[in-house]
Amino acid sequence: MTPDELADLAHLRRARDMIDRDYALPLDVPTIAAKALMSPAHFSRKFKEAYGETPYSYLMTRRIERAAALLRSGMSVTDACMSVGATSLGSFSSRFTEIMGETPSSYGARKHTAIEAMPPCFAKGTTRPARVSRT
């Protein structure tokens, strides 16, 4: 790996860390790309190459992950949506269903006793969202 490629990875990691930390803020690709010191188009290509999904998709997956935790704690769907930085309840619900395989209201309504009994480090890995493929 060349020094330039290593530098790009460090910048991409910094941008990904910003998404993980500031997911509830109004982030967009140009803002995140600036953190990586890259143009938005170049950043999007490099991010997808490094992490397997686009920056926006990664951001939304993080938001859904955090929203799922809030729903498990008893928060309403609307409050969870707004708490994670989503601006449209309809878009949030659609994306949640796409990623988690069920609607936010049904996810929040069902029991999560197995997850609650797990140590947090296991629960985080177990509840990490993965896109449900549509066939």
SS3 47: helix
Q: Encoding tokens for residue 80?
A: 């969870």
Give CA–CA dist 77/84, Å, rounded.
11
Where exactly are the structural domains of the chain? Answer: 3-52, 57-127
Structure token digits, residue 42: 């170049």
Pick the closest to residue 55 from 93, 29, 36, 34 (CA basis).
29
Global pTM? 0.82
Q: Which is more confidently placed, 120 or 49?
A: 49
**For range 47-54, the mean pLDDT:** 95
| pLDDT digits 0-9 by tens, 80-130 | 999 999 989 999 999 999 999 999 999 999 887 667 666 777 666 666 676
pLDDT of residue 135: 47
Convert 8-40 into a string of H (helix), E (strand) and C (coil).
HHHHHHHHHHHHHHHCCCCCCHHHHHHHCCCCH
Q: What is the pLDDT of residue 53?
A: 93
Report pLDDT digits (tens) over 4-28. 889 999 999 999 999 999 999 999 9
Contacts of 9 (CB under 8 A, 6+ apart): 50
Inform me whether the pLDDT recorded for 131 exceeds 90.
Answer: no
Region 57-127: CATH code? 1.10.10
74: Cβ–Cβ under 8 A, 6 or more apart, which residues? 108
